Each structure stands twice: as structure tokens, then as C-alpha cells.
């Protein structure tokens, strides 16, 4: 293989390994969708404790996002992802072996810390490892892995729910599977380098050049190193980033923009479908097994739409994609509301609801979600990227938690 081929192959490896954080993010948020009906019986959950089990992960993720960005600025993106892999594994074991609802909620909260940390650190790592002309597509690979993780959770839920529904502990098997990608993430991250931008920020310019030469041609690597050094030199007179820096007027405007984008992505209600899709289809008239299988359609369309979204990002601006996505999701939700009232009790209602949730997810995952994560990783200056993303993603997860 040529040197250029080796560089592309290594960059591909970096993308695959680091986005396993996104896969875990997707699986751990999606698995509760199918596990909850079985878990409710085994642990004697009420509607309130069901909501706590689903949303405890999300409030943990809010905290994880806030401190995950700061930690990745201090220890490095790669090191932080390694810590997160260990937390993913330990928390998954806690959820799997939980003897009661209290241990389950605590374990889900700890799992949320890992999910939130990954939601900030992985996009930042990808943005800093990718060439400028491919940054959009590389960063949105993480979004693809998130929806792939959710699809994987839906498929495994359907298989286990259909073949082992008589087994009291089927939900434990659903949760336990997340330990495998956590192991892969940990050992995979040992093989990939630290972000060159973070290395330069710590004065390790030679190490940064060495990393860049593994994924860029020599001329491009030197040019990018110079660019990083210039950017950091301009920011060098400013002291180390603190939350006080976010009060500077122009940075505050960027922060409010980021918070707005993050909140809008969540108030579309996408995660009400991702967490309670099986319950929604059951309430619409399907049996538990049929609802688990029908819910796979939500996962499949999410993955396909994300592929389309990544392709469109190279051709269409961020703003038009966001507006189109919001129009599509609004219309889909409006129609779900109308048909739920007009077709109540009808045999057609479950299929109408399923087709409209699939349409909703096509707009959400094809337009809104890829643009959200890309813009949050792009809009902040390098020195404030960790803190800025931490705060915006905190708001994203808090809103997500209330929806859950």
C-alpha cells in the first residue's frame, strides 16, 4: 500500500475506534426502549420509577458533558476517552446485576456520566484529527455510530424479547451486551494517537507533527502544524480558559447560539421515540413482541437518514438543512397528534403511527442531528472548545432528561 493509502487507512481506524464512544452512547440510550417492559415486571416499577430509570442516565449525561469537556482539555481527548471506556464497562455491569430499582438508577446515572463525556469528547477529537476539507463528514460519522448503536439495541431487544420473553432476566442480557463495545473502545484507543491540536496546546509540537504525518501528506502536515501554532499564539496572551471567559460578549453570543441549537434538537421530541418507541407502539395497539419488531424500523430509518445527512453536508449549507429538518419533524408530529385522535381504536392506527414516526426520524436524523453535533464542534474557538461544548451539551442533556 502507498504512503497515502496507509495514511487514509490509519485515519479510518481512528474514526472507527473513537466513534465506538458514539456506538455506546446510542446502544445505552436505545436499549432501555425494549428492556423497560421486562424490567418493569422484574423490579416492580411504577410509571414514575420507569421515568426515573430512563432519565437518570440523561441527568448523568448532563453532568458528564459539563465536566467531560473540561477534563478532555486538561488530560487530552484520547486519555479522557480511555477513562470513559472504563466507566462505560463498570456502569454496564452495575445495570446488568442491579438487584433493585435504587441500584439500577445509580448505575444508570453513572452510565450517563460516560455517555455525556463521550458526547463532548468524541466530536472534539474527530474535529481535531480530521483535515479541514473532510471535517464535516468525519465529525458526523459519530452521529452515524450513535444511530447504529440505537439500531443495534432495537434489533437485539427484538431478538431477545421474541425468543426469551418467558425468561425473567431477559432485560439483563439486553443491558449486558453493551460491555463488549466498551472493551473494544478501551483497547482500540490504546492504539490511536492524541489530538495534535491538544499536543500543541501543551507545548508538544514535535509529537503533534509526528501525529499529523501519520494522517496527512508531509507538506499538509507542516502547514497544518503552523496553522495550529498561529491560532494558539493568538490565544496565548489570554490566560487558561475558564467559565468566566464565556461572559465575554462575542463568546456569550456563540454560547447562546450553541445552547439554542442543542435545545432545539431535543425539543423536537426525538428521544421520546428512542426511549419509549416500543411503549408508544404498544399503546397504539400492537402486542409487546410486534412492537419490539416494529421499533426496528425506527432504527433502520435513523441509520439510512444519517447516511443521507452526511452526504448532504458536503453539498448543502448547515442552515438550510436545519430549517428543512425542523419543518419535516413539526409536520410529522402534528399528523401523529391528529391521527391519534381521529383513528383512536382503529386497527390502522399502529401502522399510521409507525409510518409517521419513521418519517419524523428521517427528517430528524437526516438533517437536524448531524448538523447539531457538527455545529457544536465548530463554533467555539479552540481554547474554549472543551468548556463551550461542555456547557451547550449540558443544556442538551438536561432538556433530554426532562423529555425522558
Q: Does any domain span residue 253? A: yes
Q: Is residue 294 part of a domain?
A: yes
Please give the pLDDT value at position 230.
Answer: 83
Q: Is residue 391 part of a domain?
A: yes
pLDDT at 270: 82
Residue 219 lies in a domain: no
Model confidence at 31: pLDDT above 80: yes
Q: Is residue 197 part of a domain?
A: no
The dihedral formed by the CA atoms of 59, 65, 71 and 76, expressed in degrees to the nearest 10: 140
- 384 pLDDT above the threshold of 80: no
pLDDT of residue 236: 66
Average pLDDT estimate for 239-258: 77
Q: How confident is the model at residue 328 (pLDDT cuts 50, 70, 90)?
A: very high
Higher-scoring residue by pLDDT: 284, 43:
43
Spatial neighbors of 132 by CB under 8 A, at least 6 apart, are none
* pLDDT recorded at residue 240: 61
Chain segment 72-87, per-residue pLDDT in tens: 888 899 999 999 999 9
Alpha carbon distances (Å) from 90 to 1, 112, 188 = 40, 12, 18
Domain that holds residue 155: 3-192+238-403
Per-residue DSSP letters for 111-160?
A: HHHHHHHHHHHHHHHHHHHS-GGGHHHHHHHHHHHHHHHHHHHHHHHHHH
Q: Is 46 helix (H, G, I), strand (E, B) or coil?
A: coil
User: What pLDDT does 394 receive?
Assistant: 81
Most confident of 65-74, 171-180, 289-298, 362-371: 171-180
DSSP state of 191: T
Asked if 185 and 80 count as a contact pair (C-beta separation under 8 A), the reply is: no
For the ranges 7-16, 104-113, 131-140, the lowest mean pLDDT is seen at 131-140
- Exposure string of 163-202, with b = 16+ CB inside 10 Å and e = fewer, is eeeeeeebbbebbbbbbebbeebbebbeebbbbbbbbbbe
Mean pLDDT of 253-276: 85
* CATH code of the domain in which 382 resides: 1.20.1250.20
Task: Give the count of beta carbons closer than 10 Å to the beta carbon of residue 2.
Answer: 7
Among the ranges given (59-73, 75-89, 96-110, 225-239), the one the predictor scored with the smallest mean pLDDT: 225-239
pLDDT more than 90, % of the chain = 23
Q: Helix (H, G, I), strand (E, B), or coil: what is residue 189?
A: helix
- The answer to whether residue 330 scores a pLDDT higher than 90 is yes
Indicate whether 217 belongs to any domain: no
Q: Compute and round to an integer the Cα radius of gyration of the chain.
A: 21
Q: Is residue 394 part of a domain?
A: yes
pLDDT confidence of residue 83: 94
Helix (H, G, I), strand (E, B) or coil at 174: helix
Give the residue among 305, 355, 154 at the shortest CA–CA distance from 162.
Answer: 154
Give residue 1's pLDDT. Answer: 57
User: So what's the pLDDT on residue 172?
Assistant: 93
Q: How many structural domains is the chain composed of? A: 1
Q: Per-residue confidence at 231, pLDDT binned at 50, 70, 90?
A: confident
Residue 372 within a domain: yes
pLDDT at residue 220 tops 60: yes
- The pTM score is 0.77
Report pLDDT for 252.
Answer: 85
Question: How large is the average pLDDT for residues 269-295?
Answer: 80
Amino acid at each position: 500500500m502507498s504512503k497515502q493509502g496507509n495514511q487514509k487507512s490509519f485515519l479510518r481506524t481512528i474514526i472507527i475506534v473513537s466513534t465506538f464512544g458514539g456506538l455506546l452512547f446510542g446502544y445505552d440510550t436505545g436499549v432501555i426502549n425494549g428492556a423497560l417492559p421486562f424490567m418493569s415486571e422484574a423490579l416492580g416499577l411504577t410509571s414514575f420509577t420507569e421515568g426515573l430509570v430512563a432519565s437518570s442516565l440523561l441527568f448523568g449525561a448532563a453532568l458528564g458533558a459539563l465536566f467531560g469537556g473540561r477534563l478532555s482539555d486538561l488530560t487530552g481527548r484520547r486519555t479522557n476517552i480511555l477513562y470513559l471506556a472504563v466507566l462505560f464497562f463498570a456502569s454496564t455491569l452495575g445495570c446488568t446485576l442491579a438487584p433493585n430499582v435504587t441500584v439500577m438508577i445509580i448505575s444508570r446515572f453513572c452510565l450517563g456520566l460516560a455517555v455525556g463525556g463521550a458526547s463532548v469528547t468524541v466530536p472534539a477529537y474527530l474535529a481535531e484529527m480530521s483535515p479541514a476539507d473532510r471535517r464535516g463528514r468525519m465529525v458526523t460519522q459519530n452521529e452515524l455510530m450513535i444511530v447504529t448503536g440505537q439500531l443495534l439495541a432495537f434489533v437485539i431487544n427484538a431478538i431477545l424479547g421474541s425468543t426469551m420473553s418467558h425468561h425473567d432476566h431477559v432485560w439483563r442480557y439486553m443491558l449486558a451486551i453493551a460491555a463488549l463495545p466498551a472493551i473494544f473502545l478501551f483497547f482500540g484507543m490504546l492504539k490511536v494517537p492524541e489530538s495534535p491540536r491538544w499536543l500543541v496546546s501543551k507545548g508538544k509540537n514535535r509529537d503533534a507533527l509526528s501525529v499529523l504525518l501519520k494522517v496527512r501528506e508531509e507538506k499538509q502536515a507542516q502547514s497544518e502544524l503552523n496553522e495550529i501554532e498561529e491560532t494558539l499564539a493568538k490565544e496565548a496572551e489570554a490566560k487558561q480558559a475558564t467559565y468566566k471567559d464565556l461572559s465575554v460578549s462575542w463568546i456569550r453570543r456563540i454560547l447562546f447560539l450553541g445552547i439554542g441549537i442543542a435545545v432545539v434538537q431535543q425539543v423536537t421530541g426525538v428521544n421520546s421515540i428512542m426511549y419509549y418507541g416500543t411503549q408508544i407502539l404498544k399503546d397504539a395497539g400492537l402486542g409487546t413482541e410486534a412492537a419490539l419488531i416494529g421499533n426496528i424500523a425506527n432504527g433502520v430509518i435513523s441509520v439510512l437518514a444519517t447516511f443521507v445527512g452526511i452526504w448532504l453536508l458536503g453539498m448543502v449549507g448547515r442552515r438550510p438543512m436545519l430549517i428543512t429538518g425542523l419543518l419535516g419533524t413539526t409536520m410529522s408530529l402534528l399528523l401523529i397528534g391528529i391521527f391519534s385522535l381521529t383513528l383512536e381504536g382503529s386497527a390502522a392506527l399502529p401502522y399510521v403511527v409507525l409510518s409517521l414516526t419513521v418519517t419524523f426520524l428521517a427528517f430528524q436524523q437526516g438533517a437536524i442531528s448531524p448538523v447539531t453535533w457538527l455545529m457544536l464542534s465548530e463554533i467555539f474557538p479552540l481554547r474554549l472548545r472543551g468548556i463551550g461544548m461542555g456547557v451547550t451539551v449540558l443544556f442538551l442533556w438536561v432538556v433530554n432528561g426532562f423529555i425522558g
